[in-house]
Structure 1
């Protein structure tokens, strides 16, 4: 690798997907404990849309150019000093950490060795790119909600990247799964294993019944859905309402402190053990990738535009390698 530069998706100002372009930046070098991965593919996630549009500029600041890309699949091409449990040539998947920000929409990414894991044999790297964020669904159901067999599970945003994984895993864990999605996606979520698929635009929340666990990927109307919990029920959300961020975060904080049925909020920050669990779920047939559309790197803006339009079935994936 004599070329010290690489392609990456950048933007020089906040705005619509049209601000995205493919430019050239310095290729990273793995620091001690890190590995360098040649990126094969990544997926588009909601948090990137908020960052690119400027809705969270208090967190992302005004230093440009900025980057996009949260997760990745690829091949390890170099090791930093002290990197363990990984070797050059390994096929891996991972998610950039909270302190790393975005940046996987590029030809290479340097990441701590403990923040990735091996892709199961037989799973292509493009399809695999739909699954790293599924570690969020694993954490939500297994750790935050403690979902048990026989419990009633409601998944909001069931056709999306985390939602579709929650439906599949909820069924595999033995729960009775109700999936909320658009009318056009009801057959899709039934195919994932949902016992009931409900058009969220046609059926009011109050008519859905009661649940032991609610997994929310929307961040809005949290109070309404919290009231659907049975005694001892648990609600987990991975989002907050970007239209009313202060009120949304305030409600999350209050519900965490007071009373039963609190809403547990978290953002995914997976480690090696989480990716090992993810690989096991795939190998055991409990979880399969759901890829809506694959875009080339030069059309990353189109992938952002498609996700903003709504109606995704699984994940929009961007292929980096030819």
Structure 2
């Protein structure tokens, strides 16, 4: 076997999960400031589905084959010139960076500042469910300034960011209302939700009012914004893919119109965020929620499962 090559998940055209396949590509060589990581596991995220399907082709272009995979856990096996902050042999987690894909492979070369040490108590496969949780930390603590005793509503509470938000809201002393599918209500209760509600069996007006709304869905932002109390804060990490221009326009307009603006952001964590994530895990406020683990060759099935909906936490792919 040529050790200059490696397995990676690729696609040669935009489309459904069936376009994904496991091929062989050159093993990367770390550049200055980069670390080469032997990937142990990665998770499936909504951004990868959008890229693979072609919904964001204006950003991803038409050059093929393309890669997939945003986050990762693994071991550092080599360092580029001048790389600091991690060492060969370190157990790390991280993300390849906004607008970049490629962690669905045996090896990936990553800027060292996008990697941090995984807490010793975490298995690397389970830990792959957590890098995206940096988004929940930033949304609730830094963007919304959630305080103990406040009422928090989480839309999409059983998903990758949503389940972390429920856990953190509970750990930080908020009263948490979780919206999820009926089949996932016991799951979000176990995470710490004070109220778990089937999103298909309630209208927003019946939910009451909230100090903080965290939206991971992207639709009906105007409706959920109306649920904010005076001084309330709404944070969204998504926009309506069916009406992207109108959705993004509303988010922008909310900054100058109405009593409460919608804070929107896209997570792009670096080492400080990942170190903070490790502290949340060590302090007991956060744990990985893994729905199912797939082998690398079944990455397409993992994409298909996430598109079908109903995930409890994260789908994780283990690289053999």
TM over 0.5: yes
Task: Indicate the larger mover: 130-139 or 90-99.
Answer: 90-99
**Offset, 1:2:** 6.8
1:19 has 2:58 as partner: no
SS for the counterpart of 1:163 is helix
CA distance in structure 1 between the partners assigned to 2:180 and 2:263 by the alignment: 22
1:163 deviates by 0.2
Q: Does 1:186 align with 2:195?
A: no
User: Where does residue 268 of structure 1 map in the other structure?
Assistant: 267
Question: Hey, what does 2:42 align to over in structure 1?
Answer: 42
Counterpart CA distance in 2 for 1:2 and 1:121 is 33
1:44-83 residue pairs with structure 2 within 5 A? Answer: 44-83=44-83
Give the deviation of 1:257 after TM superposition.
Answer: 3.1
CA-atom RMSD in angstroms: 1.1
Unpaired runs of at least 5, structure 1: none
Residues in 1 aligned to 2:244 and 2:305: alpha-carbon distance in whole angstroms: 24
Q: Secondary structure at the match of 2:280?
A: helix
SS in structure 2 of the partner of residue 77 of structure 1: strand
Give the corresponding residue for 1:5.
Answer: 5
Q: In structure 1, what is the equivalent of residue 140 of structure 2?
A: 141
Task: Compute the TM-score of the two structures, normalised by the length of structure 2.
Answer: 0.98
Q: How far is the alpha carbon of 1:158 from its aligned partner?
A: 0.3
- Quote the Cα distance in structure 1 between the aligned partners of 2:255 and 2:94: 29
What is the CA deviation profile of residues 206-227 of structure 1, one whole-angstrom value per residue up to 9, with x for unaligned ones?
0000001000000000000000
How far does residue 229 in structure 1 lie from its aligned partner after superposition?
Answer: 0.4
2:152 is equivalent to residue 153 of structure 1: yes
Aligned counterparts of 1:193 and 1:258: Cα–Cα separation in 2: 34
Mind listing any 5+ residue stretches in structure 2 that lack a counterpart? none
Could you tell me how far apart the structure 1 residues matched to 2:316 and 2:18 are?
18
Instruction: Report the 3-state secondary structure (helix = DSSP H, G, I; strand = E; otherwise coil) of the residue aligned with 1:256.
Output: coil
Runs of 4+ that moved beyond 4 A: none
The two structures have a TM-score, normalised by structure 1, of 0.98
Q: How many aligned positions are there?
A: 320
Higher alpha-carbon deviation: 250-259 or 267-276: 250-259
Describe the SS at the equivalent of 1:257: coil
